[in-house]
Amino acid sequence: MCGIFGYTGKKEAQGLVLEGLKHLEYRGYDSSGIAVLNGARHISVKKTDGKIRKLEEILKVHPLKGTTAIGHTRWATHGTPSPHNAHPHLDGESEIAVVHNGIIENYFDLKKTLEEEGIRFQSETDTEVIVHLVAKHYKGILENAVRRALKELRGTFAIAVMTSHESGKIVAAKLDSPLVLGLGKGENFLASDVSAVLTHTNRVIYLENGEMVTLTGEEFKITNFAGKAVSRKPVVIDWDVTRAQKGGFEHFMLKEIFEQPDILAAILKERVTGTRIHFDELKIPAAQLKRIKRILIIACGTAYHAGLTAKYIFEEFTDIPVSVDTSSEFRYRNAVIDKNTLLIAISQSGETADTLAGLREAKKKKALTLTLCNVLGSSLSREAKGVIYTHAGPEIAVASTKAYTAQLAVLYLLALYFAQIGAGSSKKITPALKEFMHIPVLMRKILDSYKRNESQWRDNAHDFSQRRKNAPNFFLYLGRHINYPNALEGALKLKEISYIPAEGYAAGEMKHGPIALIDENPWVICLAPKSKTYDKMISNIQEIRARSGCVIPIVTEGDEEIKKLNPIYIIQIPEVSEIFSPLLTVIPLQLIAYTMAREFGRDIDQPRNLAKSVTVE
């Protein structure tokens, strides 16, 4: 995790680096820092614990002058979040500065050796060994020193390095952590994520693993770690920067929840022509896909829940068996896969370390690999045989919402595409697409109803918080069949942004344990839209009510049955067939989490201890 940003050019660098870091703050936000190289060949550093705005306040009072700088926003792995553990780190003479994203696995041994050589360490971080190694090897040309230092490092890293001896120069290197160059006129940028450079330029180059770059305002030179020149053309990014701003919403998360109908409509417009589905960027020929005997999906967190939902979707529209695994479990299993397996890696960021490792494992076993991700040019998208982008636009809130529904939308279309190429029932395609086209309108109806009843939602959240003062309240989420993964997703969303304990369960599992938790305290969110398991959900609700449990059901408009069971609040969604219902039921779940977190005054967009991309194991 962590975000790094670098600038070199003719402008004052401090403001540009701060702005860049704010775009990367989702990657980590427990401490931050900046090093600026000025004309007098001196490196000045400011670091602090806390968020970027704290660093900004410090820099207002003590500005750092200079036109070359590197900055860092941290998610602690080694050493507590504190000013001395914050990056950039300096060598003993304060002549070299380093920022780092990743983990140096052999830092302990390196540190021991360096200490024996007389080096005094200032922090508990793994990163600090890098700066001392570069200093040790420095003989007047920074890139040579970095190259020699890299030979000694094991682990994952994206680093940026400057020295007071060479003005205007930044050297950066990448291995398994993302790094992108932004190419401007008379200025160049470095960042962990393309969204951080887009206000300045849309011409970017993604560094590949094992590559380094030497950057000045006027030029850049890419080589591999051995020093061999690499030539790479810039790509032009068409993301709209305004999509990464709040646009009048109180939080990015709320804005992103409200963007969902438009994103789905755009996905459908892009991927469906008449009754034909197409994935233009997919490099895997239809004939090869058709030969696949099974699909294995790997992902983490919310993306994993999209994968679980996909299993039901594929079972509905295709005849291909699907299994789903969390990437962190899959990568250490001895999974039986071969060239007839399609491994689909789902990831918003495309940088999740476990998913990337899982994909590599599958490639070793000769599986065909496909990445479904949101961030263009990400590591997963580059390493898989095929990629399908979800095009949800930059997702800034740490809690994933629009990326999830975009993943689901693409997975529905992918399943239907399999049916289209002969691996499923072609008869289902036209009616399914007809209904799918209408989903964005139905999503909008739910959001409009939330806006109309916002005060009621807030009152409910307030009621819960008052009750919680007297009893250890928590939430249970129950769902069945294709809405079971959404029960998991609802609980995850609540936990991560409100810190209220929550569990998601397959409602049928209720009797096998969780029912012991039921008394008048927990609130039980029951996903009960019209479906083939509706009657079973009614029985679950009755069982909860019989034990004085508080129920909030999510039902299909016009449902009279559940009303009779005296729920504390009923949330309605428009009528939709069961197979598409997750696209609707998830919206109230996102709004429940949001409203609760707001009631409890949480930091909704940047919840504690989390980071948007988990690039460490």
Residues engaged in binding ligand AGP (CB under 6 A):
300-303, 347-349, 352, 355, 398-400, 496, 610, 613-614
| Least distance from ligand AGP to the Cβ atom of residue 264, Å | 18
Asked whether 52 and 25 are in contact (CB, 8 A), the reply is yes
Q: 336 — alpha (psi -120 to 50), left (phi > 0) or beta?
A: beta
What is the helix (H) or strand (E) element at residue 171, kind and residue range?
Answer: strand 170-175
Cβ neighbours of 319 (radius 10 Å): 12
Buried b (16+ CB within 10 A) or exposed e, 237-249: bebeeebbeeeee
Take residue 149 and report the two structure tokens written for it. Answer: 């230092």
| Least distance from ligand AGP to the Cβ atom of residue 22, Å | 19
| Least distance from ligand AGP to the Cβ atom of residue 614, Å | 5
Residue 523 main-chain phi, psi, to 5 deg: -100, 130
- Short-list 291, 356, 286, 348, CA closest to 328: 356
Q: Which residues are catalytic?
A: 2, 612
Which of 325/496 has CB closer to ligand AGP? 496
Residue nearest ligand AGP, CB atom distance: 301
Which of 215/398 has CB closer to ligand AGP? 398
Give the orientation angle of helix 429-452 with respect to helix 454-470, to 10 degrees. Answer: 70
| Least distance from ligand AGP to the Cβ atom of residue 400, Å | 4
| Least distance from ligand AGP to the Cβ atom of residue 360, Å | 15
Which of 18/398 has CB closer to ligand AGP? 398
| Least distance from ligand AGP to the Cβ atom of residue 192, Å | 13
Take residue 406 and report the two structure tokens written for it. Answer: 């975009």
- Short-list 228, 239, 232, CA closest to 181: 232
| Least distance from ligand AGP to the Cβ atom of residue 433, Å | 26
- Short-list 519, 532, 539, 534, CA closest to 476: 519
Which of 188/613 has CB closer to ligand AGP? 613
- Short-list 91, 95, 93, 100, CA closest to 33: 100
- Short-list 239, 342, 245, CA closest to 291: 342
Which of 7/475 has CB closer to ligand AGP? 475
Take residue 486 and report the two structure tokens written for it. Answer: 């959404």
Which of 123/615 has CB closer to ligand AGP? 615
DSSP strands (E only) in 375-431: 386-389
Q: 296 — alpha (psi -120 to 50), left (phi > 0) or beta?
A: beta
Asked whether 44 and 228 are in contact (CB, 8 A), the reply is no
Which of 149/356 has CB closer to ligand AGP? 356
